[in-house]
Structure 1
Amino acid sequence: MRIVYMGTPDFSVAPLQALYDAGYEIPLVVTRPDQARDRGKKTKPTPVKALALELGLPVLSPETMKGAWDGGDQEEFWKALQEAKPDCIVVAAYGQILPKNVLDLPKYGCINIHASLLPRWRGAAPIQRSILEGDQETGVTIMYMAEKLDAGDMLAKVTTPTAGKTAGGLHDELSQLGAKLLIDTLPALFDGTVKAEPQDESLVTYAAMVFKKDGLVDFSKDPQAIEWQIRGLSPWPGAYTFYQGQQMKLLEASMEDKATGKADGTLAAVEKDRIVFAAGGKSLVVTRIQMPGKKAMPVSEYLKGNKLEVGTLCTNQAE
């Protein structure tokens, strides 16, 4: 079977490698254009392009697919896609909506690897949102692609617990799980035995993009929600507060269901290997931090050469 693969970031690398290792013919890989990656404005290929070139696979990076079939400036891409004669198009975090003409091209359709248990968390940041909202489990869904975002019929799912995992760690795990699920699902797709399940629209939630401002900790919230925030926004943008005007990143934490008697946001205790903030009428226990100009480190290591003052009220902005 001939499979055209479309993907861009690190999440998309494992499924492409899995297709290649499984022996599928990959006549074309489609990814986003090279982007400037540093202050010198030098460009680097996307992770998917880098792997495709390493594997000797043809790569195209259209700026857009709009107009690709009606004489627009992407006509060359549309011609190459037709000449690839895909039996199926596999998409994983490509970064563009596919037009109907592309969706209708392959015999077995276009399928997408989505990092959530649909219909929960359609959209841009499903991994982060699953942790931020305290979901007990998440996973990967493989579904047919439709013109509406992440709304196609579901073909297969795999689940994994979220407890104790950061968004970064879960990202890597789901990429690998998605790659395996893809290889397990394709035979049923091609022999016609796959069972497609429509999504229940009443259960749909949307995973909005994550921004840097989302990392600012609100100590009036329950400390469990703050712990989810710390894990859900790691490694980017990171959860943070301001201690004496300096940004303090909170990297590892847990909650204790006891009051400190202090105002929310107050550094209530500094101990050998942890610091305690008053939060939501309870205690947020932090064991790993990062201060400006310093590497991330356990609180115990930071306290060997630095002081943190009990009673300091952390704020939501630099002084």
Structure 2
Amino acid sequence: MRVPGVARTLSMLAGDGGKKKVVFLGTPEVATIAFRKIFEASKAADSTFEVSAVVSNPPAKANRKKELQASNRTVMRCDAMRCDVWTPTGIMKKFEDSAEFLEKLESLSPDLCITAAYGQFLTKKFLTIPRLGTVNIHPSLLPKYRGASPVPRALEDGVAGGEAESQLGDAEVCAAVTGVSVLFTQFEMDAGPIIRQEEYPLTGDEKADQLLPILFDRGSELLLSALPGIFEGKYQQDGTGCIIQNDEEATYAAKMNKEESKLWFTENAKYMHNRVRAFAGWPGTTMDLVINSGCPDEEKMTVKIVTSRIRREQGGAIQLFTSLFPSISISSFSNSICDPFLSLPPLLIRLAHLHLLANEAAGNALVITCDDGSQLDAIEVQPPGKKPMDAKSFWNGMRGRSVERARVPWSTGKVPT
């Protein structure tokens, strides 16, 4: 939500008539959301602070020739707004690499540093430089999900499925929530005193790459609303006026890696759906398929699942049975539910076909049966070398060939990007 009168309140706090010096640190595209809001607020006629410098990661070697590219959207945004941009090679790697940067920062005498997805740890020396401290926007309800990937890990854990509890103690708030925290930065990762928190309710279908910008937008507004209190000393690095985190309640959000992106459907469909949501954008989630298995034109293909939904959440023996024998009504067996299993060879044949993907009647999904009998719909996929497409387009491209999910790992060396 927008907080009215923030700039006016800030102007009342500038007793000495000078503007507070703020340094912004951020790297990926989502950082530009926070930077834009902070920069625009600093340009208001009655603003009491200015963005004195922006710190971002240096340009990366991003193509085959290893040529330097513009490192991120933050740098490009700063160039457009004519801000002074610093790109130190690494604040934490070696002291000699960062000494020049720290000396430059110290000579600036900033009042406050603000970080948003900067991507590097800050040294103790750095944290002593800004007079009022360093404030971070973190997209989780701390102390839950400290670390590098709070939004993906929260979605992977099924926060939107109702397992999460409100961190703010409000019984009226829906349990299916995530949120954003504004906190002072300490040397220990994401463990500092919390200045403000805001919950954000979830529907259960949000993807990480959609949710992250929303949370940084909310966090930026939350930060701007807290700046008056920071400037006047209401909120301080030592915890004055803040919520002190309980380390015993902390959970950690480990950095994602490509090895986690493969789906084997040995888990429940709900967990698979949560992983598709969590890893959306990067690294994405992929499944290995076998096209026309056992035929001369058999083809192996790795397909990215872009969008999914839960078709049948409940697993178990009965659900697995209905997947194997869809034309037989369970209710017709009464107490003889095991009778169909007396014919073992036909059952083995049916089990062999459990891995086949079905085409939904309307052609809008690839129906995938997990090993426990639960089912997941892949409604948007991306074959290698192609753009994302809906399930109907994928099925049309198969031209009547069978599609089966692989039983064992294999690699074609050709993964959708």
Q: 1:30 Cα shift?
A: 1.2
Q: Which residue of 2 aligns with 1:27?
A: 52
Which 4+ stretches in 1 moved above 6 angstroms? Answer: none
Decide which of 70, 83, 87 is 1:61's aligned counterpart: 87
Give the 3-state SS of the residue equivalent to 1:267 in structure 2: coil
Q: Which residue of 2 aligns with 1:246?
A: 301
- RMSD of aligned Cα (Å): 2.1
Number of residue equivalences: 317
Q: Deviations over 1:147-173 (max 9, x none)?
A: 111111111112223421111101221
Match status 1:101 vs 2:147 = no
Question: Where do residues 226-245 of structure 1 align in structure 2 (5 Å cutoff)?
Answer: 226-244=272-290, 245=300
Is contact 1:265–1:313 with CA below 8 Å preserved after alignment?
no
More helix as a share of residues: 2
Q: Deviations over 1:78-133 (max 9, x none)?
A: 22211221111111111221112221222211111111111111111111101101
Q: Which residue of 2 aligns with 1:18?
A: 37
Unaligned 5+ segments in structure 1 are: none
Decide which of 149, 157, 162 is 1:125's aligned counterpart: 149
Q: 1:221 Cα shift?
A: 0.3
Q: 1:213 to 1:75 in 2, by over 3 A?
A: closer
Question: Identity rate of aligned residues, in percent?
Answer: 26
Is contact 1:36–1:42 with CA below 8 Å preserved after alignment?
yes
Q: Which residue of 1 aligns with 2:376?
A: 284
Unaligned 5+ segments in structure 2 are: 1-19, 43-48, 161-176, 236-240, 291-299, 325-349, 413-417
Q: 1:74 Cα shift?
A: 3.3
Q: 1:29 Cα shift?
A: 1.2
Match status 1:7 vs 2:48 = no
Q: Which residue of 2 aligns with 1:273?
A: 364
Give the 3-state SS of the residue equivalent to 1:305 in structure 2: helix
Question: Where do residues 146-165 of structure 1 align in structure 2 (5 Å cutoff)?
Answer: 146-162=186-202, 163-165=204-206
2:283 is matched by which residue type in structure 1? P
Q: Which residue of 1 aligns with 2:14?
A: none
Is contact 1:219–1:265 with CA below 8 Å preserved after alignment?
no
Is contact 1:238–1:250 with CA below 8 Å preserved after alignment?
yes
Q: 1:307 Cα shift?
A: 3.8
Q: 1:55 Cα shift?
A: 1.4
- Take 1:227 and 1:314, find their aligned partners in 2: how far apart are those partners? 18
- Take 2:302 and 2:267, find their aligned partners in 1: how far apart are those partners? 19
Is contact 1:2–1:86 with CA below 8 Å preserved after alignment?
yes
- Take 1:124 and 1:50, find their aligned partners in 2: how far apart are those partners? 23
Q: TM-score, normalised by structure 1?
A: 0.92
1:7 is matched by which residue type in structure 2? G
- Take 1:14 and 1:199, find their aligned partners in 2: how far apart are those partners? 26
- Take 1:189 and 1:112, find their aligned partners in 2: how far apart are those partners? 13
Q: Which residue of 1 aligns with 2:5?
A: none
1:5 is matched by which residue type in structure 2? F
Decide which of 211, 234, 237 is 1:193's aligned counterpart: 234
Q: Deviations over 1:204-239 (max 9, x none)?
A: 111111111111112110000000011111112111
1:274 is matched by which residue type in structure 2? A
Give the 3-state SS of the residue equivalent to 1:143 in structure 2: strand
- Take 1:146 and 1:215, find their aligned partners in 2: how far apart are those partners? 32
Q: 1:313 Cα shift?
A: 4.1
- Take 1:122 and 1:190, find their aligned partners in 2: how far apart are those partners? 26
Give the 3-state SS of the residue equivalent to 1:27 in structure 2: strand
